[in-house]
Structure 1
Amino acid sequence: MNQEIHIAGLVVHASPDAVPTLRSAISLIPGAQVHAAAADGRMVVTLETDSTKRTLDQMDALRALPGVLSVALVYQHAEQAAAMDEEV
């Protein structure tokens, strides 16, 4: 079976006072990374997973974090892991 790589870009909207704690909590989710956070509570987050199901599960985990108001998927890409080694 060929392994896949799934990359998702999200906008996470949170209570502004929860952002510092959420940045730490999100960093503990495997494959998750916070790239930017605004003072109003918006955060740009990426997820790198091995399946659509795992991406959705991690989005649900983000939604369940205290202080998170919403999680919106703005980008998703999937391809075979071997393709990531090909030169473009």
Structure 2
Amino acid sequence: MKGEQHISSLVVLHRPESAAIVREFTAAHDALDIAAEGDSRCVLLCETDNQRAIVDHIDALTLLPGVINVSLVYHHVESADELDKPAMTMKSHQGADV
């Protein structure tokens, strides 16, 4: 078994002048991607192989200058083996019943 894959989303509330700092932090961490962005907030996608790494990213983000709050709004754990399997599409699902 390869372990687990943790997929989560974080809402980062920050001062408008701190957007570049949050972008730079995100770019420097492979586990993070910006999913949506506004003047004073953004949604980050976080994909890690353990729950502790999510908490570490949240802690580090809260310490950035101008960051007001970081909220975990979604967390899903999936077996890495399960993620390696092909996804079943509606077409393949309908063909399975025939």
TM-score between both structures, scaled by the size of structure 1: 0.89
Structure with larger Rg? 2
Aligned to 2:70: 71
CA drift at 1:21: 2.4
Aligned to 1:33: 33
Q: Give unpaired runs (5+ residues) of structure 2.
A: 89-98
CA drift at 1:11: 0.6
**CA displacement, residues 24-77 of structure 1 (integer Å, 9 cap, x when unaligned):** 1221123101122112x1101011001111111111111111111100111000
Aligned to 1:12: 12
**Dislocated runs of 4+, deviation >6 Å:** none
CA drift at 1:20: 1.8
Matched, 1:3 2:8: no
Q: Give unpaired runs (5+ residues) of structure 1.
A: none
When you count strand as a share of all residues, which structure comes out higher?
1
- SS in structure 2 opposite 1:61? helix
Amino acid at match of 2:30: P
Aligned to 2:94: none
Cα RMSD over matched residues?
A: 1.3
Q: Give the distance between the partners of 2:72 and 2:21, measured in 1 at CA.
A: 21
Preserved CA contact (<8 Å) 1:5 1:51: yes
Give the number of equivalent residue pairs. Answer: 87
TM-score between both structures, scaled by the size of structure 2: 0.81
Preserved CA contact (<8 Å) 1:26 1:33: yes
Matched, 1:62 2:61: yes
